Copies of this chain bind each other. A is one copy, B any other.
Amino acid sequence: MKRSIRVGYMLMGAAMAGAVALALTILPVATAQDADHGGASAVADGHHGAGAEHPGAGPLTVGDISDHQAHTIIAAAVAKAVEIDTKMDIAIVDAGGNLKAFLRMDGAWLGSIDIAIKKAKTARYFDMNTGDIGGLSQPGGPLYNIEHSNGGLITFPGGIPIKDANGNVIGAIGVSGSSVENDHTVAQAGADAAN
């Protein structure tokens, strides 16, 4: 997955009005031309990871998912959902656990709106896959009924932290709409598209 998307649009050049050109830089998608031009060089945005660099007594510098990335991730998740013949609700939260982007595919479960969002939040709240938390929240487990916290967590698979190129968490994706295995597969496809 490339992120050099502006390149192709830049070629459309003078014919584009300013506003549209700006919008394109925000909501891009990779094209065949991108590959030809070599994508990465066009992305000079230098994310700082949530691993956070601390410049002395000053504030933390943290990485955070962009709307650009959120779109790329959702597009990759939808592509995977279509590939495996499922209809999914897909939610992206940022480094603060706040909703960044969401899409419910036509015909996807209504009940999965909330579950997709909660999976994404759960994954970011604890920086681990939701299914891993679920393994700890069973009766007798160390996190039994953790689902009661934070206004309701979802601890079965389908939520995955999103990391930058350095492995720092910058957000999370939550997917719901099919079996938990399919949910996880689609979420992973999305998370993998972040970089």
List residues of A whose CB falls within 8 A of some B CB.
1-3, 5, 9-10, 12, 14-31, 47-50, 52, 54, 57-72, 74-76, 78-80, 82-83, 85, 87, 94-115, 118, 121-122, 124-127, 134, 137-140, 142-157, 164-165, 170, 179-180, 193, 195
Contact = CB atoms under 8 A, between A and B. Distances in A.
A21 B18 CA distance: 9
| Interface class of chain A by DSSP | loop
A174 B50 CA distance: 23
Contact of A149 (B50, B80, B107, B152): B152
A144 B134 contact: yes
Contacts of A80: 19
B106 A71 contact: no
A191 to B, nearest CB: 13
Contacts of A94: 96, 104
